[in-house]
């Protein structure tokens, strides 16, 4: 997990916990330059907010719970903290019963566990629709890839009155604006692989900026909580620690 530096004196530090998959997760030296957007988010938040990035590669809303990872978060979360939840990429895997959820039933049921668990501990749940993959049709239009999952999350957020960060819609619009070729500079395209799901540092920073702006727009965070929304963040600020054995 990663976090920002020390708290501001006289103000209790709050923690923003991220529950999610590989698109948000901390990456290590053996995976560089692949970068989760959760690695870049601390650069956009002031120091009295700590980011605890619990996102893990390959997890769905279901497998994250079944492996005890949600319970780990709930055992440490405190009143006034936030639980930001982004899943769908692996919930979509119909051939894998350990991860698959159906958008309008089991997906929503698992998301409710995160919402209810955070609220029971005095923390604020925040739902984020899954960031879009890099996918374009023959006419150069950015194409959505998450099926009914974003709609199901939006409906649940409205029903439960939970703040919703519509990262799916915003990232799709950003990829459309950039175009098929320019977006290659934001995804993990290297000489060895052409990855249209995971980000490099510029991509992670761009998505983290969408997340931070949505946290401000939805009033989850106040203007005093965010910084650098319009500033350039050098990709060199991203670092990949050695994996812990």
| Structure confidence by residue, pLDDT tens digits, 100-145 | 999 999 999 999 999 999 999 999 999 999 999 999 999 999 999 9
| Structure confidence by residue, pLDDT tens digits, 77-108 | 999 999 999 999 999 999 999 999 999 999 99
Residue 126: name the closest of 12, 33, 217, 62 by CA.
217
| Structure confidence by residue, pLDDT tens digits, 140-185 | 999 999 999 999 999 999 999 999 999 999 999 999 999 999 999 9
| Structure confidence by residue, pLDDT tens digits, 12-44 | 689 999 999 999 999 999 999 999 999 999 999
The two three-digit tokens of residue 121, written as one number: 């501990």
What is the per-residue pLDDT for 12?
66
What is the per-residue pLDDT for 102?
98
Whether residue 5 has pLDDT greater than 70: no
Q: Are 183 and 139 in contact (CB under 8 A)?
A: no
Report which DSSP code applies to 25.
Answer: S
């Amino acid at each position: 997990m990663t976090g920002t530096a020390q708290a501001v004196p006289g103000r209790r530090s709050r923690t923003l916990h991220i529950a999610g998959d590989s698109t948000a997760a901390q990456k290590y030296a053996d995976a560089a330059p692949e970068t989760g957007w959760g690695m870049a988010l601390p650069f956009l938040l002031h120091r009295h907010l700590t980011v605890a990035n619990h996102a893990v590669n390959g997890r769905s809303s279901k497998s994250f719970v079944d492996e005890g990872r949600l319970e780990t978060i709930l055992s440490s979360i405190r009143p006034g903290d936030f639980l930001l939840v982004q899943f769908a990429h692996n919930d979509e895997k119909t051939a894998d019963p350990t991860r698959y959820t159906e958008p309008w039933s089991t997906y929503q049921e698992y998301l409710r566990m995160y919402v209810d668990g955070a609220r029971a501990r005095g923390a604020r749940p925040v739902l984020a629709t899954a960031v879009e993959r890099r996918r374009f049709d023959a006419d150069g239009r950015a194409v959505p890839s998450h099926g009914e999952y974003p709609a199901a999350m939006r409906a649940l957020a409205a029903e439960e009155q939970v703040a919703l960060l519509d990262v799916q819609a915003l990232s799709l619009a950003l990829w459309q604006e950039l175009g098929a070729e320019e977006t290659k500079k934001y995804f993990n395209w290297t000489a060895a692989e052409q990855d249209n799901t995971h980000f490099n540092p510029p991509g992670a920073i761009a998505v983290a900026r969408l997340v931070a702006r949505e946290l401000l727009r939805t009033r989850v965070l106040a203007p005093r909580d965010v910084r650098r929304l319009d500033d350039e963040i050098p990709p060199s600020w991203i670092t990949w620690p050695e994996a812990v054995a």
